[in-house]
Amino acid sequence: MIALIFKELRQLKPIAFLWIALLALSIGIELFTSRVDEQSYELFCDALCAPGIEYSQAIFLMILCLVTAYSLYPREVDERTIDFLHALPIKKSTIFYGKFIAAFGLVCLLLLFSYGVLSVLLAFNPESMSGKRYFAIDASLFLRDCVFAFVVMAHGVFLSRFRTVGLVIYALYLLLVRWLETQFDGIGWVSVFEIFKIDYSGTAFSFNFNVMAGHIALAVVLLVLACRMWSGVQGKSEGVNKNAKVHKLLKIVASVFGFLFMAMILVGQVMQNAQVAEEKAFETLLTDHYRFVFLTGDKGQAEELHASAEEHYQQLRVLLNASTEPVIHVDMTSENDHAAGLAQWKTIKMGLSGGESPNRYARVLSHETAHVFQSVESNRAFRAYFNSTRFFIEGMANYVSFEIVPRQDTRRQNRDIAAVSWQRQNIQFEDMTNSAAFSSQFNAELVYGLGEIWTEALVDVCGKGALGEVLRSAGRDGAPLGLPAGVFWRDTLQQFSCELELVNAAWRTKLSARFDDIDQSQFPILDNMSATEHENGVTISISAPLESELPAYRYALRIAKESKSVASVDAIFKPDNLIVELDSQVLKFEVPSELTDRGRFRYQVGYQIEDGSRIYFQSWRSGSVLQ
């Protein structure tokens, strides 16, 4: 067995060299592009050991494990060396497990080597705080990787019996799991990537033993099956082999049928789509710069919109002093649950079936058209700097759409929410220029109100022409790329002699003045929240004492689902009921327990200041369920 293991290790040398080469490359990049002694766990672990699943790292390890697993048997069979192995006075199962142990052992050694090298690199940092070492976490990560490798290699050895088909099946399994995760809450444990999930309790790494145990058990079963399957295999023979011929014929037939089956699904989907298209009659309306496509049932709304569209388009063009006149395709055939409208390059998507007023649809169209102009006039520079410019992308679109299609009450509501949030949550300009971090700390939708006020400040300080100048300046020839956020904004604004500090000062003045004018009692603060598991075991009750007289139905609770950066896809809950307890009122929300990850969750609580307005949310907080 030992000799077998060593023999296998020798054969796996190329994989070891490949891994070491890739590691050397990544270390080389690190050494040549940064000061290695300033690396800290905090910086290094920004992605690799942050809570959650780092898919890129997991996929890399998965590929390596699958390549290793696939190199154990198929090549031996193709080169007919398997016959020699089986001819040895060793049990075939011993051969199988010897190979697997060698492969798994090699991967673990390589992982150990990698963590060792990284540990040595981080050891160059002499700083007392940033240079601190976390051997326990290193060990935990190593253990996690070994478990993951074991499971994936077991899958790989089993699937290698089916060669390419096995790889295809595995790829489909991963895709399917990913799709299921988006459809259903709590299905994540089916995914092998759940083993790779990182969570901490304080400074201690937190393993999900249930998930690991489940996957390990399945891996063991697959290993046993794989052993049986590979043990009966002989080397490929060039002579006539009746079984091989039948086997091959079966494979061809199965493949052809499989292909035909999928073709039928494709055709079926296409036919179904065609039928839906027939049932849904579409019509088109054109203007000089728009092409509206809408359902016949929405013709009335479309025609109302059509009447004012071109005029609003020209108003926007004048506001931006735009040099381009993009022709925009507007798809009005479907509603989006998360946004009134979407825009990308020269395409807008918005629905007309929601029963909204013509004024609202006109404003949505104007808002999205502004996005189109932003892209075109800036030559996609704003997209390239999306994280730094999102507040302006939405804020400016809001600003121009309100200028062109006024709606004072909505504008006032947005601004009030922005002002209160700015004051209470101490939001700075620097926070707005990092959209991802902003969304993880505050309500992501604040960019509409805060951005709109900032845009107004820009106009006040640098003139109305500044709206278009910002876009053209960002997209000018030779504009530097990859600038940090603050530098980008200063560089962009100074191209037309507009001073960022003045704009920010004006922005703060406006927000402060607005905050002073607001009736604070309309923006309640919810505190002393608690979460308990419901008796049914399926939901969790999140409660808060209510201290204001405002209507309870306007309160809202948002639980962070999969994406914190796109808050509008997070689940929002209204109060389940209002309970009166001992002369005080308690607000209670019922949420599915799958939304909490082992009893922990992130939430925002908020209040809808008027019917139909956006919700004022407090900043994101953490909560845990009392067991």
Partner 1 sequence: MALAGVPTLVRKEFREHGLSMLLLGGGFVITLLLAHAQNQQAAFAMSPLQVLLLSVTLVIPLIAFIMGNRLISTEYLGHTRQFVESLPINPLVFLIIKYLLGLLFVGGLALVAIAYTWLLSDSGDALDRKLLTIVLVKVLCVVFFIWSVVFCFSFFGFLRFALYVMLGVVIVTLVTYPGFDQREFGPFALLDQGVFAFERDNMPIKAALQTLFMGAVFTLAGFLLPLMRDGSLIESLAKPIDRSNMVVLAVIGVGVLATLGSLLEKWDVPEYSFSSDHVVSEVDPPVSILYLEPIYEEQSKQLLESMRDLIVPLQQALDLKVMPTVRVALDKGLSETNLNDIRFGSADGVLVRANYLKYDSFSMAVLQTNALHQLIQATSGERRTFEPYHWLLDGFTRWWVEESLAIEEHKVELFARAVNSVVYLEEPIDLVHNWQWIAEEVSYPSAEALAYTALVFYEQQFGREAVLELANLVLAPKVSDNVFGVISDRRISIQSSFRNVTGQKIERFFIDWQEWLLDQQSEPAVANLLSMVPNVRGAASSETSANGVHELIGRYEVIDSVNHDAVAGFTCDMQHVLISPFDYEIAWTSGEHETQACDNFDTLHSVSSYYAAGDRVFVAFEVQVDAFHQAIRVGAQRLVVE
Taking CB under 8 A as the criterion, the residue among 86, 360, 407, 508 binding partner 1 is 508
Query: What is the closest distance, in whole angstroms, from the C-beta atom of residue 326 to partner 1 in the complex?
Result: 8
Q: Is 569 in the site for partner 1 (CB under 8 A)?
A: yes
In terms of CB distance, is 94 or 495 closer to partner 1? Answer: 495
Q: Is 325 in the site for partner 1 (CB under 8 A)?
A: no
Segment near partner 1 (CB under 8 A), from 40-48, 86-94, 353-361, 388-396? 40-48
| Tokens linked to 583 | 């002369």
Q: 3-class SS at 501?
A: helix
Q: Measured in Å, how far apart are the chain's first and last C-alpha atoms?
A: 50
In terms of CB distance, is 92 or 329 closer to partner 1? Answer: 329
Amino acid at 377: E
In terms of CB distance, is 288 or 610 closer to partner 1? Answer: 288
Q: What angle do CA 589, 595, 601 make, to 5 degrees?
A: 80
**Euclidean distance between CA atoms 129 and 149, whole angstroms:** 33
Q: Is 38 in the site for partner 1 (CB under 8 A)?
A: yes
**Euclidean distance between CA atoms 248 and 548, whole angstroms:** 76
Q: Is 6 in the site for partner 1 (CB under 8 A)?
A: no
Query: What is the closest distance, in whole angstroms, from the C-beta atom of residue 601 to partner 1 in the complex?
Result: 7
Taking CB under 8 A as the criterion, the residue among 22, 47, 213, 286 binding partner 1 is 22
Q: Is residue 432 a contact partner of residue 447, using CB atoms and an 8 Å limit? A: yes
Q: 3-class SS at 556?
A: strand
Name, in order, each residue with C-beta under 8 angstroms of 611's C-beta and a sequence gap of 6 or more: 554
**Euclidean distance between CA atoms 229 and 96, whole angstroms:** 10
**Euclidean distance between CA atoms 286 and 291, whole angstroms:** 5
Q: Is 494 in the site for partner 1 (CB under 8 A)?
A: yes
**Chain center to CA of 449:** 24
Taking CB under 8 A as the criterion, the residue among 55, 60, 84, 179 binding partner 1 is 179
**Euclidean distance between CA atoms 218 and 220, whole angstroms:** 5
In terms of CB distance, is 394 or 403 closer to partner 1? Answer: 394
Q: Is 209 in the site for partner 1 (CB under 8 A)?
A: no
Q: 3-class SS at 10?
A: helix
**Euclidean distance between CA atoms 52 and 174, whole angstroms:** 18
**Euclidean distance between CA atoms 403 and 260, whole angstroms:** 57
Taking CB under 8 A as the criterion, the residue among 338, 476, 534, 574 binding partner 1 is 338
- Quick one: which of 362, 347, 346, 370 has its CA closest to 301? 362
Neighbours of 426 (CB within 10 A): 9
Taking CB under 8 A as the criterion, the residue among 10, 135, 201, 242 binding partner 1 is 201
Residues 258-287 contacting partner 1, CB under 8 A: 258-259, 262-263, 265-266, 269-270, 273-274, 276-277, 280, 282
In terms of CB distance, is 92 or 588 closer to partner 1? Answer: 588
**Euclidean distance between CA atoms 589 and 125, whole angstroms:** 48
Q: Is residue 352 a contact partner of residue 341, using CB atoms and an 8 Å limit? A: no
Taking CB under 8 A as the criterion, the residue among 64, 141, 458, 498 binding partner 1 is 498
Site map for partner 1, 55-94, x if CB under 8 A?
----------------------------------------
b/e burial code for range 207-225 (CB count within 10 A of at least 16 → b): bbeebbebbbeebeebbee
- Quick one: which of 612, 602, 515 has its CA closest to 554? 612
Segment near partner 1 (CB under 8 A), from 108-116, 143-151, 344-352, 551-559? 344-352
In terms of CB distance, is 413 or 433 closer to partner 1? Answer: 433
Taking CB under 8 A as the criterion, the residue among 36, 108, 146, 187 binding partner 1 is 36
Q: Is 476 in the site for partner 1 (CB under 8 A)?
A: no
Q: Is 463 in the site for partner 1 (CB under 8 A)?
A: no
Taking CB under 8 A as the criterion, the residue among 91, 245, 380, 476 binding partner 1 is 380
Taking CB under 8 A as the criterion, the residue among 28, 186, 297, 354 binding partner 1 is 28
Name, in order, each residue with C-beta under 8 angstroms of 393's C-beta and a sequence gap of 6 or more: 371, 374, 382, 386, 451
Site map for partner 1, 528-567, x if CB under 8 A?
xxxxx----------xx---------------------x-
Query: What is the closest distance, in whole angstroms, from the C-beta atom of residue 37 to partner 1 in the complex?
Result: 5
In terms of CB distance, is 227 or 591 closer to partner 1? Answer: 591
Q: Is 336 in the site for partner 1 (CB under 8 A)?
A: yes
Q: What angle do CA 469, 470, 471 make, to 5 degrees?
A: 90
Q: Is 251 in the site for partner 1 (CB under 8 A)?
A: yes
Taking CB under 8 A as the criterion, the residue among 279, 337, 549, 611 binding partner 1 is 337
Residues 87-146 contacting partner 1, CB under 8 A: 124, 126-132, 134, 137
Q: Is 601 in the site for partner 1 (CB under 8 A)?
A: yes
Query: What is the closest distance, in whole angstroms, from the C-beta atom of residue 210 to partner 1 in the complex?
Result: 17
**Euclidean distance between CA atoms 192 and 398, whole angstroms:** 43
Segment near partner 1 (CB under 8 A), from 103-111, 359-367, 497-505, 608-616? 497-505
**Chain center to CA of 321:** 36
Taking CB under 8 A as the criterion, the residue among 1, 3, 18, 59 binding partner 1 is 18
Within 34-186, residue ranges assigned H as helices are 41-44, 55-70, 74-78, 81-87, 92-123, 135-160, 163-183
Query: What is the closest distance, in whole angstroms, from the C-beta atom of residue 421 to partner 1 in the complex?
Result: 14
Q: Is 310 in the site for partner 1 (CB under 8 A)?
A: no
Residues 403-462 contacting partner 1, CB under 8 A: 426
Query: What is the closest distance, in whole angstroms, from the C-beta atom of residue 409 to partner 1 in the complex?
Result: 27
Q: 3-class SS at 608?
A: strand
Query: What is the closest distance, in whole angstroms, from the C-beta atom of residue 226 to partner 1 in the complex?
Result: 20
Q: Is residue 539 a contact partner of residue 592, using CB atoms and an 8 Å limit? A: yes
Taking CB under 8 A as the criterion, the residue among 3, 48, 176, 221 binding partner 1 is 176
Q: How far is CA 57 from CA 48, 53, 256, in A?
A: 7, 9, 36
In terms of CB distance, is 150 or 205 closer to partner 1? Answer: 205
Q: Is 513 in the site for partner 1 (CB under 8 A)?
A: no
Number of residues that this document lists for the chain: 627
**Euclidean distance between CA atoms 451 and 507, whole angstroms:** 9
- Site size for partner 1, by CB under 8 A? 131
